[in-house]
Homo-oligomer: A and B are copies of this chain.
Amino acid sequence: VDLEMEAKMQILKDTIMKYGIVKDHKILKVDSFLNHQIDPVLMDQIGDAFCQHFADQKITKVLTIEASGIAIGLATARILSVPLVFAKKVESFNLDADTYHTEVFSYTKNKSYPVRVSKRFLQPTDRVLIVDDFLADGNAALGLIDLVKQAGAELSGLGIVIEKGFQPGGELLRSLHIPLHSLAIIDSMSPEFIAFRTSI
């Protein structure tokens, strides 16, 4: 199983190297397969990898954040046969008044934005797997973790597709003993080269 999983994650890394576009050493564009155009075969492999890693966690719900987490979340929830919930960043007149609410600071936008989940969809009995496309400074992940805590639910795992290992989020979350599993960790990158962490 480990070898099989390693082979699958090699496909992810190969895809990142082949189709990812690095801009000014900090921005990695993966819009041709992960967050604008989406490769459903890769999504299935990502979902499968998260499910195998957190197989013994008795997950009852997958939680992610709109918009780029939704495809990853659905692929994962589908294999686990549990509901997917995605937190809302965008104001919606249709959202319940009764929500868990947190603020996430975005360094790229240099401002905070509200993140909400209706209280109906996170219960104290839930064992929650959070998934997202990127981990950089960790603020979005900490926001989602905060929503899980507000609900009194159990955080059973945090699955990230691409961790930017040169930004502080991963180290911060591991120091807090968050059960983080990143499928690919990038230690450094440039327009010419992407260096993955080898022992994850």
Contacts and interface: CB of A to CB of B under 8 A. Distances in A.
Interface string A108-132: 1100000001101100000000000
Interface in A55-72: 66-67, 70-71
A10 interface: no
Given A70-B67, A71-B70, A74-B75, A81 B32 contact: no
Contact of A78 (B27, B32, B43, B89): B43
Contacts of A8: none
Contacts of A40: 74, 77-78, 81-84
Nearest to A89: B90
Interface string A1-34: 0000000000000000000000000010101100
B67 A36 contact: no
Contacts of A66: 66-67
A102 B63 CA distance: 31
A103 interface: no
A160 interface: no
A37 B39 CA distance: 22
Nearest to A108: B93
Nearest to A44: B78
A134 to B, nearest CB: 10
B78 A120 contact: no
